[in-house]
């Protein structure tokens, strides 16, 4: 074994070392060091210039530079013939390519992805069908994802390159970097007028996203089939990781809005048996609204029913004013469908929007029950439906039962205390009236002793 090893070493030295001895060896060392140093310098420069690009691209350039340097050292320094090198390399490449074909496929796919840079670390992507997550690592062979459930998934680059890639952006960058529009399909009975269904669902989506800037919901009638009208409720979410939370909020608000209006999610139509008559969808019920409002809790069911029959229906187009600040009012309103905007006087005297009212809200009660001028302007943001209750309708009930004034006073005082500081107005609202003050105003306005 030892003689064989000595023979191989002698052969290598004979091939590599020049005939001129030490001077030749120094020349070879200097030439090799020159080309390798040049390749290393170029690789470092490429890394600095491509700092904003995936690391895979700079690694690829570095590898190409060192391979080129090796070929140049072989040809120019050692002065070996190119024919033998090419033949040996071809055989070696063929053998390795067949043995590592899957790995090489991943590597070349990684190279292509690195050059195009369709996604980056921190982005939410859907790499393959049903496989979505936040990118936490990109290597030559694979991409590492963490799903919304916290599961780490390693996906081969060749699998990603062979499929459609959906990139949702990165919520970690702030602004609109990860913001995109999602949609929720809501089935509604096809007999419900489209304008009413849109109004109900849009108000629900606006209520669900009232704390999310740029939520910007809208509602589109997408399809009608088998007795169902499918509405697409579309809204913007801050990033892919938060989508399920907002879908849950919008779905819950849509369900509550339909139930509040006497409707429900539609089911596929089935054959109606003989003797079963078609029932039209229920309209918004003022009696049901009155029963859900604290202000009318002291009233009996019969009294609420009587008030409901006396209420007027008010239909509002977007931009229409329900009431204006400073005008006299002798009625309150119950919002059944749609969204309204509350405007008050700002620090410079102009009107500023400070709040939104959603279905189920009651407003204007202070003017109805005390005769005070309206303290705010209320405009319709969407198509809206409200019910108006006038002083003439409630006056007989309060005169017949003066004890109701105590309950109304407590509820109104609590509402006034909650609204004492007006958000967005740039100043504090006037001090809330006391319970005794409200009771005195009520008795005076209705002439009750």
User: Which structural domains are found in the chain, ordered by start?
Assistant: 24-99 (no CATH), 121-172 (2.30.30.60), 180-260 (3.30.70.100), 286-445 (2.60.120.10)
Per-residue pLDDT at 6: 41
Confidence (pTM): 0.65
The full DSSP string for 246-276 is HHHHHHHHHHHHHHHTT--B-----PPPTTP
Res 340 pLDDT > 90 = yes
pLDDT tens per residue, range 198-217: 999 999 999 999 888 889 99
Q: Which of 61, 56, 63 is nearest to 138 (CA)?
A: 56
Run of H or E residues at 389: strand 384-390
Burial of 90 (0-12, 13-18, 19+ CB in 10 A): exposed
The full DSSP string for 8-68 is HHHHHHHHHS-TTTHHHHHHHHHHHHHHHHHHHHHHHHHHHHTTTS-HHHHHHHHHHHHHH
Q: How much of the chain exceeds pLDDT 70, in percent?
A: 71
Res 1 pLDDT > 70 = no
What is the chain's mean pLDDT, rounded?
77
- pLDDT band (50, 70, 90) for residue 275: very low
Per-residue pLDDT at 373: 85
Question: What's the CA gap between 135 and 118, in Å, rounded?
Answer: 12
Whether the CA torsion 186, 189, 190, 195 is positive or negative: it is negative
More confident of the two residues 424 and 178: 178
């Amino acid at each position: 074994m030892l003689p064989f090893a000595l023979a191989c070493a002698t052969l290598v030295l004979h091939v590599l070392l020049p005939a001129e001895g030490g001077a030749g060896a120094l020349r070879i060392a200097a030439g090799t060091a020159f080309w390798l140093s040049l390749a290393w310098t170029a690789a470092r420069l490429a890394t600095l210039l491509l700092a904003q690009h995936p690391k895979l691209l700079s690694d690829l350039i570095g590898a190409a530079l060192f391979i080129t340097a090796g070929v140049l050292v072989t040809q120019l320094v050692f002065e070996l013939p190119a024919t033998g090198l090419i033949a040996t390399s071809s055989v070696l490449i063929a053998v390795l390519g067949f043995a590592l074909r899957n790995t090489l496929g991943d590597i070349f796919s990684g190279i292509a992805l690195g050059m195009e840079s369709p996604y980056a670390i921190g982005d939410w992507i859907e790499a393959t069908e049903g496989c979505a997550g936040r990118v936490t690592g990109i290597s030559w062979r694979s991409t590492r994802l963490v799903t919304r459930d916290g599961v780490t998934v390693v996906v081969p680059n060749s699998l990603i390159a062979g499929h459609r890639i959906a990139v949702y952006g990165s919520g970690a960058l702030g602004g609109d970097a990860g913001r995109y529009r999602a949609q929720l399909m809501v089935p509604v009975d096809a007999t419900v007028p489209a304008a009413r269904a849109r109004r109900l669902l849009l108000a629900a989506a606006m209520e669900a996203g009232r704390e999310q800037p740029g939520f910007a919901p809208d509602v589109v009638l997408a399809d009608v089939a088998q007795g169902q009208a499918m509405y697409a409720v579309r809204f913007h979410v801050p990033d892919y990781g938060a989508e399920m939370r907002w879908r849950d909020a919008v779905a819950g608000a849509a369900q509550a809005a339909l139930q509040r209006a006497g409707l429900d999610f539609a089911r596929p139509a089935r054959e109606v048996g003989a003797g079963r008559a078609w029932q039209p969808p229920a309209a918004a019920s003022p009696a049901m609204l009155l029963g859900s409002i604290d202000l009318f809790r002291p009233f009996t069911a019969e009294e609420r029913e009587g008030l409901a029959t006396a209420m007027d229906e008010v239909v509002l187009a977007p931009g229409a004013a329900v009431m204006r600040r400073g005008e006299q009012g002798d009625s309150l309103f119950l919002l059944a469908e749609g969204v309204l905007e509350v405007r008050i006087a700002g620090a410079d005297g102009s009107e500023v929007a400070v709040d939104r009212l959603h279905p189920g809200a009651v407003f204007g009660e202070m003017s109805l029950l005390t005769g005070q001028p309206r303290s705010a302007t209320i405009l319709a943001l969407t198509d809206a439906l409200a019910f108006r209750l006038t002083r003439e309708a409630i006056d007989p009930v309060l005169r017949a039962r003066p004890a109701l004034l105590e309950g109304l006073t407590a509820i109104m005082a609590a509402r006034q205390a909650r609204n004492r500081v007006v958000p967005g107005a740039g100043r504090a609202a006037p001090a809330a009236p006391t319970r005794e003050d409200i009771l005195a105003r009520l008795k005076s306005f209705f002439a009750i002793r």
